[in-house]
A and B are shown apart, each in its own frame.
Chain A
């Protein structure tokens, strides 16, 4: 039975492999600066990065939620990841900084334009709400000032159960000593409660020289109270869970439609009857 070579199944997925990712690179209107940022990230070995649009609503005047520019317009040629043969994957992400309950509008249409959605709460009440109820992928931990509150177990567990991850960024720690102390202090507080699970480490870099390699960040994780293995997860598998969470979040409110092409049917009768071949079912004695 000749097998048709046409793509039966859009695989391999480069989207969700546990490769090194930096899900917070500040988007920059200056195209050449942004290109250098993306080239450096690819050179350092990051296979997936997210361009971060920060939206800080202020009660004074009505602001527009930013609209993400299509990646192809922002970046010319996508560089190949260091030591690999495939180009870097660039997503876009929105971070809403909330200092008032009204700042985050649940399932607002504008949010759907972004691949990832993050929120940075600045008060304990908003932190609690973000962890327990906001439909977001990432909750950002502030690194620019001492947290005005302690991490209670309830919101942390709430976020863990909902698959929402906490993000710590290190670029501020590179910039000056005060922010370095805040970053380390806030990180250590967070780890006290969440034990290094459910955390991602990203740069929030504004220029190429603020980026650090994945293995540097893994080592840096020790200062934040993370073990080597937890730090490595924080720049790879945990980031993958963010991508999966974002996919489910976006499709959940949309309609999921899959249609089986005739080859799939032909293929399906070919192999073992029954459902999707899962590796769990023992095949051999």
Chain B
């Protein structure tokens, strides 16, 4: 591997175009509960999402491992990471989750991207007035 680094160091011009190559997709989601004051811990949130996956997509769905990269318990906002092949299943199960401990709820998906960086640079968040 060593010679490769040398070549990289020397600044020889290299260009590669990768198509559909990102292994993961990232989601910025927020859980809205009927009773605004109730709270979930990170573990409870992940388990709740897993039940949704299992109901909608069965054991295959439950086998999709996704990461809770970041979670703010006050706003119930989370950043999720999932293998690109599991994105549609995860997203559809979030959409069809309607109640948490017999309280109405809804997952609001703010942004989905194959790049975590894009989640911190969404121009639709620009508030000027």
Listed in ascending order, the chain A residues whose CB lies under 8 Å from chain B are: 44, 83, 170, 173-175, 177, 180, 207, 209-213, 215-217, 219-220, 222-223
Report the Cα distance A272→B84, complex, angstroms. Answer: 54
Most buried by A among B91, B105, B107: B91
* Complex: chain A residue closest to B103, CB-CB: A209
Report the Cα distance A222→B88, complex, angstroms. Answer: 8
Contacts of A207 in B (CB 8 A): 104
Report the Cα distance A92→B95, complex, angstroms. Answer: 26
B65 close to chain A: CB less than 8 A: no
Given contact pairs A173-B96, A174-B96, A212 touches B91 in the complex (Cβ within 8 A):
no
Q: Are A174 and B88 in contact (CB under 8 A)?
A: no
Closest chain-B Cβ to A222's Cβ sits at a distance in Å of 5
Listed in ascending order, the chain B residues whose CB lies under 8 Å from chain A are: 32, 34, 55-56, 88, 91-92, 94-98, 104-109, 112, 124
Closest chain-A Cβ to B106's Cβ sits at a distance in Å of 5
Contacts of A180 in B (CB 8 A): 56, 96
Report the Cα distance A209→B96, complex, angstroms. Answer: 11
Report the Cα distance A44→B107, complex, angstroms. Answer: 12
A-B CB contact pairs (8 Å), 17 listed: A83-B124, A170-B95, A170-B96, A174-B96, A174-B98, A177-B55, A180-B96, A209-B34, A209-B98, A209-B105, A209-B106, A210-B98, A210-B104, A215-B112, A216-B107, A217-B95, A219-B91
Contacts of B97 in A (CB 8 A): 174
Closest chain-B Cβ to A203's Cβ sits at a distance in Å of 11
Report the Cα distance A211→B106, complex, angstroms. Answer: 8
Contacts of A215 in B (CB 8 A): 109, 112
Closest chain-B Cβ to A230's Cβ sits at a distance in Å of 14
Closest chain-B Cβ to A27's Cβ sits at a distance in Å of 19
Contacts of A175 in B (CB 8 A): 98
Given contact pairs A83-B124, A180-B56, A212 touches B92 in the complex (Cβ within 8 A):
no
Closest chain-B Cβ to A172's Cβ sits at a distance in Å of 10
